[in-house]
Structure formats: structure tokens, C-alpha cells
Structure 1
């Protein structure tokens, strides 16, 4: 029988989970007891909710992952967990974790990821807890974890227990007179089987061959490499040369695993000469995606969501289960709203964070949802899902026999176009970022801008119709989530949104979003840069972003 020890510790004050768990620099998690404290806080917060005592563990393969996986095994053995389902080598995409939780009726899962943040010994690590529905823990759970972490004085651990997570199999141990089981699984197999149930792989495969469609996919050395090989190469017949950066590496090979035009520039460059018809990139943990058409034609994530919403009949899963409704995060452009209106389906606007979609899905109110931050998904799981999105796009292409660009052009002809961009100002001084948000909050509270006209440097004038700090009342459980971003809504329907991101590991990231609708088809063909220049200038005037931060340009433009 293995010995359990109680280890004294000192509480940390900085273990409050953000929108996607606790993210810090690797060196922070390497502090003595730091990781143990947070995982112990998770187990104490959720132990009353155990049904079967089963927890799933997986991660994106980043630096420190294997060590933390072993620590979780040792802590779980001492903390009433009966069984762990662990990914082989600790590597499992976030969407796959969600699926495995649901398939095996687990009580939840621990995901070791900092998503699209860079990895390596000098970069980021993260731990988040997913609940039994497979989705990120709601605030009620993360708040409880944080409260426990602030006063934790000891943790329970079985230090002599070790599992070879590189070998698939079932391992049993006797701990405190009870059986503790660790099942190491092939993290790819279950997910691929599920995708075959959702999509018609034979139809996609036939279309790729008949049309001689040329694809280029990059995993950016993140977790999706094995999934790309299993789905795109083994199932759909793509040559290995079409699968780039598919070896998961602890530091992502020096790449920043964020699938946007800045950090996936190598894919954009490779697509520009027109050799390839369809391109896609995934982030570090596989829940985000970027879609490109021929000659690197960029599909804005807001448009991606809307186009898929307009063509769900192309996917067998929805033909079988029907479509209950659509949803988007508040900063996401309102393109999908127009599809919902046309199809007479419910439309929901929620705060940023995938957990807000879960209640709607569990209540049968939501089938498809997305965020402007390159995340799209459906009610097949409770996380956004990069591979699902790529397969959904390929299903639409196979069904319509249109190119990516033609699909977008036809969509704008039918619905008009929401021109959209996001400016990210990463690693700002926290005091400066908070001062800017305080300035905007004051404008909301005193209402001084409402009904006021503002002229841009280009000479275009806008009138402020409404300014608020977004508040969401969950239609299912009536919980209220406040202060989710400053919205400036203009009289022509254009929107400006300011938020501080909760996904960084240091400093503050300011996100600025602008969304402007254009109904005339001839104008939908103009460049987003030209169409949004005046609106961006208004955003800078209102926020005084440059004055508060000293930043003349964003880190990333989407």
C-alpha cells in the first residue's frame, strides 16, 4: 500500500483563474508548492461533486506538462479520486478532453494548457478545470477554487506513486485501503471516431479527389499534429507534405501557436502564390482555427461562423439532430445574427468565455456558436473545436462545390457584410490599461457621449447612440455576469468594444474591436482597412488609448 503524506504549505494570493483557467509564466508554476497548491484547491473545490470519482487529464504538450501530469496523478491518488483517465504522454487537445469527459461520464477534467500563448521555460503554462459536461468551469466553481487557494495550509500527496504515461494501459494502486486506477489512453483515437460520426468523411474524401483540391494545414508544433495526421492524412488522404509543423514540441519550436495572420504568417506566405485552395492553422491546444482560401484569402472568424450557420444542412450531424439556435460572444461581429433572423432561429449574445455557451447547449437552446478570437464549435462537445471547424468547412465546400472566396462573396451578396477588426495591445502596463478602462467607465456612468457626434480624421461623422459596460443575464439559470467590456454603439449600427483580456500571463492585454455593417454588395468588396479607418480613429479619440498607454500601434491586428 502506497503512503499518503500531508505536506504543509503557505497559500499564494495570485491563483485566481481567468476566463480559461490559471495562466502564469512557467517559473511561477515551478515555485515550491505553487502547482500542488492550485491542484489541491481544485480537488477540494469539486470533491463534493464527484459521481464516479473519475477525472480526465490532458494537455497541449508544452514545457512542464509531463512533470505536472505526474504531480496531478500523485495528488489525485490522495484526494478521493478513484480513477484518472490520462492522455498518452499527457498530450490531448482541449476539444478531445471535452469529448473524453462526456464519453466516459467523468466528473471533470484538468487541462494543462495556456492555449495560444507561447511555450518554453521562459514562457507560459496553464491549468484549467472542466466540469462534467465537458466545458470550462463556471464562475461558481472557479471562485470556490480561488477562495480555497487563498487559505490553503497543506495538501495531500502520494509521492512514491509513478505512472509511465508513455505506455497505453490500465495501472492499479492501493492507496488508503482503496483501489486507485490510472488509465492511459490514445488521446487521438476516440476523437477521430467521433468526427467520423459527425461528418461524411467519404463525401469529403471524394470531393478532394474529384476537384483535386489542394490543402495546406499547420499545427504550429502544438497538440494538433497527431490529429492532423490521423484525420487529414490517414482518413482524407492528404500527402504528408500538406501537413506542416505537426510534431508537438515543448516550446512549439519557437513558434507562437496563435492561428492568426501575424503568428501563422508562414501559412499565409505559403498560400499566397495560389498553389493551394484551402489552408488552416490551429493553436497550441487545438480549440482555435484560422481558415484561408486560395491565394491566402482570409476568412474573418465572424464570417466563418456566419457561413457555417448558413450551411449546416451540409453536415450529417445537424441533418440528424436539427438546429436549435446560434450564439456569439459580445465582441464578435454580428454577421451570424443576420443568418439567425433569416432562418427564424434563436440568437444569443454572451460574454467572452466558452463556458457561457455551455448552459444554453445543455438546455437544448444552442447548436452552433463562436468567438471572434478564432474559436468556433457546436453542441457536439462543450469547447470550441479547431478540427471540427475545418471539417465543417470541407463539408460545405464538398456540398456546394464552391471555393472559399465564392462562398464568402455569395454570403455577402445575400446578407451584406460586417467589416470587422481586432487590435491587440499585449503586455501593457497594468496601471495604464486600468486607467484607460476607468476613463471609459466614467464616460459610461456620466453618459456624456450619448447623442454626441464625433468626426473622424477622415471627415466621416458618427453619432453615439448608446454606451454601456456589457452585462449578461443567463437565460437558463439567471446568473448575472457584469463588466464584460465597454460598448460604444453608434447610430448607424457600428460598434466599438474595449476589453482587458483574461488570457495573458503577465501585464494586461487591451483588446479593441470595431464592427461596421455594409448592406450594399458593391461596398462589400472593398478592403476592411479602408472601410474601418474612420471608425478606428473614433475609437482612439474616445478611449485616448495612445495617450494612456503610449502605444502607437497594436501588437497584433486581426
Structure 2
């Protein structure tokens, strides 16, 4: 059964419209009722990012949890990766994160984590949707009404986990810039870097409910690039709104994406004898240069669909520990079963030793162009993706690049975007191929609905 509400990263949409308080309550009620099958009075962690809709949706989740007999434990504003760590620490039965990650402030989302700390599987999300689609009897009333309570000390708990993992990392004398995207990392990121001895300059750390990801963070790197060019810093890191991804900028103002960060981590862990299984999992978006670097180092690579949940599945299947995405989702299972932007930034500095990011030696990238074609709605997206002319254009361009580069065109799972990615031996050719495919996609989407 196809999922109707859940995308690749929870249920996401404009808060108060698609993602209403009513829908959010119903999702929490159904998920808690399912958890009650194995826990008589489920304890449900609820955390959020800094969006103005967060408090409204937090209240809706709390009501839904209590309506199914659970106990909603409100942990406040925390990075998404804190959820699996707190679930493991306290043995919670379910975790709910309210965030739309890198999306604009008007959007919000609901992500569920199971008692094992993993995001719920596609099959479980289908079960939750089925409960919503049925009549009210499908979610029976609990034997007793649940409760809602504040959970104090969650930030300290999260920082304690980070310090335990990276306590041996001495950042004394290191000068670091952090862009916190006016989001969930505003308190945690500067604090842990300072505890480890770094001199920290912070950008975008004054959230007002509407400025999350607004011209800042991992999707808007201009401010960090400017700061790195203007100052004398060893590295700069930009998190997204919920803190589960990170991108970096070196002292020359050059952006270092997730591919390079994973390559650095893989080579470092391999050298330390800590790369479990001698393998790393990445997605179809990963640059060809990464594969070449890993092959040279004798490190096996598994390729998955886009989405950190699929990377995690590959790691579990192979009993590996490291994987991630070009966008900056990096999973180190030795720390947590989730992408963690702060932990990934610290792992990068651990991998660099005492050198600056500009001196990195991880991989040589093939020129890559990625364009997100924003379409009017999901229907236009589906028309563009399925259009015969679009399919033929992709096949034609792929044949031209065979053995020299590649083409990847895929719909976003969270927004009405068609992602067009091209790798070629030089940037000019990549730009030209991408421009042709973007034009074809826009023409296909403009066709009237059949």
C-alpha cells in the first residue's frame, strides 16, 4: 500500500494548512496506540525546532499521546539527533520530532522514532496511516487517559552524549565558525565546541520563529563563506534547521559537502581500525570521485536510494558503521542511529587532526551540477517525471556521458521539486547538460493534465 501522508522523512507540509493541529493530533494518537500494543502506558518523547508553529503542534502531539493513554514528555527545542540518544538513555517507547528540517519556517513536520531509536519503517508508517483512514473504533479508547509533563535537562543529556563520544578531541587553539541556521543547534553546537576548547564565532543563533533557515544554515552558505574568507579560521560548519545535517566551508571559502566529509571520516576511521566492516554506505547522489577514492583505499561502498533511512538500512544489513548523503546527513552508528550535524562536524575535526580543513586530503570531485526545479504541485511533479520526452532526454544525455559522467533525475520526497543532477569531466559540459534537462522538465510540467 502506498503511503499517502508520509514522505521520505515523516509527514511534512505548511503548518496550520496541510499539517494542521487536527492531523498532528491524529498521527500522535495513532502512533501511540500502536506503541501501546507493547507498552501498557507508552512514554513518548516530544522535541521540536524553533519554528513558530512548533508550540501549537507540540500541544497537538501531547493531546494525541494522552488520548491514547501515553505519557507525553516535552523535551523542548533540541536537534533531531537528540531523540534517538534520549530514547536509548531513558528507554522511551516512542519519539516525536516536530521539524521540517531545511524547509522554510512556514512548513513543519512530524517524524517518529521507535523504541530502538530508529525512524519508523515504511511498513509501520503505512500502519499508522491505515489507523487514520479507518473509523474511530480502529483506535480504541485507552483504559485510562494519559498525561503530559515537561522533561527537564534534555540539553545537558545531549551534550553529555557528545562529550562522552568526543571527550578525547582537544580543540584548544582551533578557530571555528558555526552557522546554526536560527534553528535547533543554537545552544548545543556552540556549547560543545567551547567545552572541547575551541574559539567559536557563531552566525544565525537568534531564532525568532520565522528566521529558521532564512538566508542561513546548510542550504544558504553565503554568510559562512564570507565569514571564512574574512577571518582566520580553521573550519566553518553550517547546520540545517533541525541539526541532523552539516556542510563545511574551508578557509578559502570553498564549500565542502557531505561526500567529502564522509570520505575524510572513512579514511580516518579506517586508519584508526574503527571502520567496522571496512565499508561505507552512500546514496545515488554521491559524487563519482568518492567511489574512486574509496576504491583506491580498499574500502567497500554500498549505494542506496536517497534518504538517510535507506543508508541506515544498508548499514544494518552489512553490519557497517559509517554512511551518509551528499547533503550532509552523516550517520556513525558508533554514536547514534541518526544523522547528527554536530557530531559529524566534530568527527571531521577529529579526522583532520591538527590541520585546517583547507588542507584536507579525502577525494577529488568530478564537476557536479544540481538544480532543483520547483513545480506548482505534486501533480505537475508526477507529470514531469513520467513524461516520455523527459525520459528520452535523460537516456540521450546519459548515453553521451557514458563512461565519463552520469545523469540522475529524481522527484523530491518532501517538496514539489524535480532534482536534476549531472556529473561531467568539466563544469561547462555539466552546466550545458543540466540546462537542457531542466528546460525539458519545465516543458513537461507545463503540459495540461491528461
TM normalised by structure 2 equals 0.87
Kindly state the Cα deviation for residue 303 of structure 1 after the two structures are TM-superposed.
1.9
C-alpha deviations, 1:96-136, integer Å up to 9, x for none?
Answer: 112112222322211101001111xxx11111111223222
Is 1:42 aligned with 2:31? yes
Provide the residue aligned with 1:26 in structure 2: 15
1:133 paired to 2:107: no
Q: SS at the partner of 1:42?
A: helix
User: Which residue of 1 is the match for residue 444 of structure 2?
Assistant: 548
Give the aligned partner of residue 292 of structure 1.
Answer: 249
* 1:204 and 2:154 are equivalent in the alignment: no
Aligned position for 2:313 = 359
Q: Secondary structure at the match of 1:499?
A: strand
Conservation of the 8 A alpha-carbon contact between 1:52 and 1:107: no
> Within 2, Cα distance between the matches of 1:177 and 1:195?
38
User: Hey, what does 1:145 align to over in structure 2?
Assistant: 128
1-side partners of 2:249 and 2:69: how far apart? Answer: 47
1:496 aligns with 2:407: yes
Tell me the secondary structure at the aligned position of residue 372 of structure 2.
strand
- Superposed, which structure 2 residues align to 1:241-390 within 5 Å? 242-252=201-211, 255-256=214-215, 258-260=217-219, 263-312=220-269, 319=273, 322=276, 324-363=278-317, 365-379=319-333, 380-390=335-345
Report the Cα offset of residue 140 of structure 1: 0.3
Gaps of 5+ in 2: none
SS in 2 for 1:216: strand
Aligned to 1:110: 96
Matched residue SS, 1:463: helix
Deviations 1:339-358 (A, max 9, x none): 44344443211111211133
Q: Deviations over 1:181-238 (max 9, x none)?
A: 746032222222222222244x4323xx2xxx32211112101011123212344342
1:375 Cα offset (Å):
1.6
Q: Give the CA RMSD over aligned residues.
A: 3.2
**CA distance in 2 between partners of 1:492 and 1:254 (Å):** 38
Matched, 1:86 2:39: no
Between Structure 1 and Structure 2, the one with more strand by share is 1
Cα 1:74/1:178, change in 2 over 3 Å = closer
CA change 1:186–1:249 in 2 (3 A) is farther
**Secondary structure at 2:331's aligned position in 1?**
strand
- Would the aligned equivalents of 1:278 and 1:292 in 2 still touch at CA under 8 Å? yes
How many corresponding residue pairs?
443
Select the residue among 417, 433, 440 that pairs with 2:381.
Answer: 433
SS in 2 for 1:195: helix
What is the aligned partner in structure 1 of residue 359 from structure 2? 406
Change in 2 beyond 3 A, CA 1:442/1:515: closer
CA distance in 2, matches of 1:289, 1:32: 30
For the 8 Å contact 1:85–1:185, the answer to whether it is kept is no
Cα gap change, 1:138/1:334 in structure 2, threshold over 3 Å: closer, same or farther?
farther
Asked if the contact 1:117/1:257 (under 8 Å) is kept, the reply is no
Q: Distance in 2 between matches of 1:258 and 1:14?
A: 30
TM-score (normalised: structure 1): 0.71
- Identify the match of residue 219 of structure 1 among 177, 180, 188: 180
Q: Decide which structure has the larger Cα Rg and report it.
A: 1
Report the 3-state secondary structure (helix = DSSP H, G, I; strand = E; otherwise coil) of the residue aligned with 1:194. helix
Any unmatched runs of 5+ in structure 1? Answer: 1-12, 159-174, 455-461, 465-489, 519-530, 551-558
Q: Indicate how the Cα distance of structure 1 residues 128 and 441 shifts in structure 2: closer, same or farther if over 3 A, else same.
A: farther
CA deviations on 1:371-395 (whole Å, 9 max, x unpaired) are 1222222112122110011101111
Which of these residues, 513, 533, 539, is aligned with residue 428 of structure 2? 533
